[in-house]
C-alpha cells in the first residue's frame, strides 16, 4: 500500500514539474518575445503622443494669450497692483503699529 502511495505522489510531483517546465519554455519562446514587441510598439507610440500633446498645449496657450482682450489684461493688472499695495500697506502698518 505504501508503495502505491509513493508511486502516486511521485507521479503527481513529476507531472507538476513537467507541466511547469513546459509552461516556462512556452513563456520564454512565445509569450516573452511577443510582449517585448508590444512594449517596443507602445514606447514608440507614447513618444509620438507625448510630442503631439506638448505641441497642442503650446498651441493652446499661445492662442489663449493671443485672444485675451487688452482691457481684460489692464483690469487684471490694476486689480493685482491694488491687492499687492494693500498687502504691503498692511504689512508696513503692522510693522510700525500704525492702524489706519
Residues whose CB is less than 8 angstroms from the CB of residue 99 and which lie 6 or more positions away in sequence, other chains included: 93
Torsion of CA 74, 79, 85, 88, to 10 degrees: -130
d(CA 3, CA 9): 10
What dihedral angle (degrees, nearest 10) is formed by the CA atoms of 37, 43, 48, 52? Answer: 140
Question: Taking the model in full, what pTM does it have?
Answer: 0.41
Helix spans in 1-100 (H): 2-26, 32-66, 70-95
Q: pLDDT for 17-60, tens place per residue? A: 999 999 999 999 999 999 999 999 888 888 788 888 888 888 88
For the chain, the average pLDDT equals: 84
The model's confidence at residue 86, banded by pLDDT at 50, 70 and 90, is: confident
Amino acid at each position: 500500500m505504501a508503495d502505491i502511495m509513493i508511486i502516486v505522489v511521485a507521479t503527481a510531483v513529476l507531472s507538476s514539474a513537467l507541466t511547469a517546465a513546459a509552461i516556462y519554455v512556452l513563456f520564454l519562446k512565445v509569450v516573452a518575445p511577443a510582449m517585448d514587441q508590444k512594449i517596443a510598439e507602445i514606447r514608440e507610440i507614447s513618444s509620438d503622443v507625448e510630442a503631439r500633446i506638448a505641441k497642442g498645449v503650446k498651441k493652446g496657450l499661445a492662442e489663449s494669450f493671443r485672444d485675451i482682450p487688452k482691457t481684460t489684461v489692464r483690469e487684471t493688472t490694476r486689480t493685482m497692483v491694488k491687492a499687492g499695495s494693500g498687502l504691503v500697506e498692511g504689512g508696513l502698518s503692522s510693522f510700525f503699529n500704525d492702524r489706519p
